[in-house]
Amino acid sequence: MKFTASQIAELLEGEVLGNPNTEVSKLAKIEEGEPGSLTFLSNEKYTPFIYTTEASIAIVNQTFVPEKRVTPTLIKVTDAYKAFSTLLAFYNEVKNNKTGKESPTFVSDSAILGADIYLGAFVYIGQNVRIADNVKLYPHCFVGDNVVIEEGTILYSGVKIYSETVVGKHCKIHAGAVLGADGFGFAPSTDGVYAAIPQTGNVIVEDGVDIGANTTIDRATLGATRICEGVKLDNLIQIAHNVEIGKHTVIAAQTAVAGSTKIGSHCMIGGQVAISGHLRIGDGVKVQGNTGVTKNIKAHATIKGSPAFDAKQWNRSYVHFKKLPNYVEQIAAFEKEIKALKGEQ
């Protein structure tokens, strides 16, 4: 799909400097631009590339004044970075604007499907499923019985949605994610054998949630495991049964949250964080990567380490952690001196 400079400028409310009929069909970094590509310049350290890039169109800030001749057609906007982000979103929307039904697929007779949906090959849709308008299910998706998927949500290839799960509007669930599998609940018997505890709850994902590839969200034992509005989950995250994650919280890859923990809104949780079960983490908490959280955390705290404590205190303590061998040697020397002094008395 091709776009002209004038069409792009109209979308971004920008000004064209050069040929308004210049066409582009792809996006590129400014240092890798080639004919037919669109790029942008927002960081001053990349300015030299504007004079050497072979891109056909470049988006620049309104304040940019070329010091010498530039080859690309320029589109001047108030904020080049923000404008390019807007363009990326538009490009992605156009690229993913699939509709129709590929073959083979299986759709239960009791399922209700909205308008303008896309069903890729080998999609399975169970009984009493309700799928709203403009939903896209890429190949090999599984949607279990009694699932609800609201308007504009996208399930990429290989997503598995177990029964009773509810997914809100305009969510993105990436390849290999599993929503609604049984939580890790087992009861030991007197002879040491573990029996599975039935997991009768479900998973509720609210509007505007992004879930990364191969992330798993377990169903609740009773009630719901809830992912609130605007939450962003990276790849390879484990969310256990009955967990609640508050609005607009973001969690990086390889983090695990154990059962029944409640995480507040607007939290930022780094990668490879381990959070124990039945905890309460307040709003606005920041958890740095590789942290082990074993106790409740008050709102707006910043924590680090394993076990976790205040990040500033951890950084100050780390200065001494590195010197522990020296401290041990010094203490041993002091003990020898003390013994020697006692022997003289």
Render the burial of 53-72: b for 16+ CB within 10 Å, e for the rest. Answer: bebbbbbbbeebeeeeebeb
Tell me which residue of 90, 123, 97 sits closest to 108, measured CA to CA: 123
Euclidean distance between CA atoms 129 and 109, whole angstroms: 10
Euclidean distance between CA atoms 181 and 243, whole angstroms: 14
Q: Any idea of the CA torsion for 291, 295, 297, 301, to the nearest 10 degrees?
A: -40
Dihedral sign of CA atoms 201, 270, 209, 143 in order: negative
Close Cβ partners of 336 (under 8 Å, ≥ 6 residues apart): none
Euclidean distance between CA atoms 238 and 219, whole angstroms: 12
Residue tagged active-site, from 241, 266, 278, 300: 241
Backbone angles phi, psi at 248, to 5 degrees: 60, 30
Cβ neighbours, 10 Å, residue 15: 11
Tell me which residue of 109, 143, 98, 108 sits closest to 123, measured CA to CA: 143
Q: Look up 241 and say whether it is catalytic.
A: yes
Residue 28 DSSP label: -
Surface-to-core class of residue 196, CB atoms within 10 Å of its CB (0-12 exposed, 13-18 middle, 19+ buried):
exposed
- Cβ–Cβ under 8 Å, residues 176 and 236: no
Euclidean distance between CA atoms 174 and 194, whole angstroms: 33
Q: How many CA atoms lie within 13 A of 250 on its CB side?
A: 6
Write the single-letter amino acid at 246: G
Residue found by looking up tokens 């990436």 in the block: 174
- Active centre residues (catalytic): 241
